[in-house]
Amino acid sequence: MTGERRYLARRGVGDEDIRRAQALRVVAFLGQDSGLDVDPFDDICDHILVEESATGRLVCCFRILTLNDGCEIAQSYSAQFYELSALEEFDGKMAEMGRFCIAPGLNDPDILRVAWSAMTRFVDEQGIGMLFGCSSFKGVDAGDYLDAFAVLRERHLAPRRWWPRVKAPSVFRFAQRLKRHKPDLKLAMRHMPPLLRTYLMMGGWVSDHAVIDRNLGTLHVFTGVEIGAIPDTRKRLLRAMAG
């Protein structure tokens, strides 16, 4: 990347970089000014940091867990919340993108673009065949996002061969509940998380239910995208950004 760019993405190196990511996650997910968001997956993931070029300030982070094929899907973070046995049949390397967050108050779309360019490079370098993860809506009140969930139901449910089934004890079954809900498309897209919007633009799909995660204060849907199914125009754009 050129030094003229406002934000730079890099792979985390060492414990200090991981702690910086954990500190940002506490602020972004829990609204706390101190402490760390820590779980066992941090030790087995690659961590990507997006920093402000001029100051080194951490503005975004996420982690990536690489799986050799679908037989390892039970080792993923997502498998704690979704029954993913259908994906055991996936023949190819997989990458789980997790704990994605942007520092609160920052709305610069270039941050998301830089993050996705870093993910694109990782996918290309590692030969990843499917990218997946949990895409989060802030808060646990599904009523705030009915239009967004209705659009997901109408247009973006997972293919039957990869269908994620219910596992978590507390879920919102939007595909069942919103059969008669006619969504306001503009309102739906306004409430759709930026990360999820990007997945969908690449041809991504979601589970038919959202998990209510009270520990992180979010609703999340399982999200997947088969790299080979991404439209060529979108692939070219992502690879151009990745430089």
Is 183 inside a domain boundary?
yes
Is 196 inside a domain boundary?
yes
pLDDT at 197: 94
Q: Are 144 and 225 in contact (CB under 8 A)?
A: no
Q: Cβ-count burial of 42 within 10 angstroms (0-12 exposed, 13-18 middle, 19+ buried)?
A: buried
Is 2 inside a domain boundary?
no
Domain of residue 237 covers 7-242
pLDDT tens for 5-22 read 899 999 999 999 999 999
pLDDT above 90 coverage of the chain, percent: 91
pLDDT tens for 33-54 read 999 999 999 999 999 999 999 9
Total count of domains within the chain:
1
Q: Is the pLDDT of residue 191 over 60?
A: yes
CATH of residue 26's domain is 3.40.630.30
With H, G, I as helix, E, B as strand and everything else as coil, classify residue 26. helix
φ/ψ of 129, rounded to 5, equals: -100, -25
Residues 6+ apart with CB under 8 A from 1: 8, 9, 243
**Mean of the pLDDT values across residues 62-74?**
98
Is 95 inside a domain boundary?
yes
Distance CA 197, CA 204 (A): 9
Is 230 inside a domain boundary?
yes
What is the H or E stretch that residue 223 is in? strand 218-226
Is 158 inside a domain boundary?
yes
**Mean of the pLDDT values across residues 207-231?**
95
Is 233 inside a domain boundary?
yes
CA end-to-end span of the chain? 7
Quickly state the pLDDT bin for 1 (edges 50, 70, 90).
very low
pTM, two decimal places: 0.93
pLDDT at 122: 95
Is 1 inside a domain boundary?
no
> Given phi > 0 = left and psi -120 to 50 = alpha, else beta, which region is 203?
left
The b-or-e profile of 156-165 (16+ CB within 10 A means b, else e) is: bbbeeebbbe
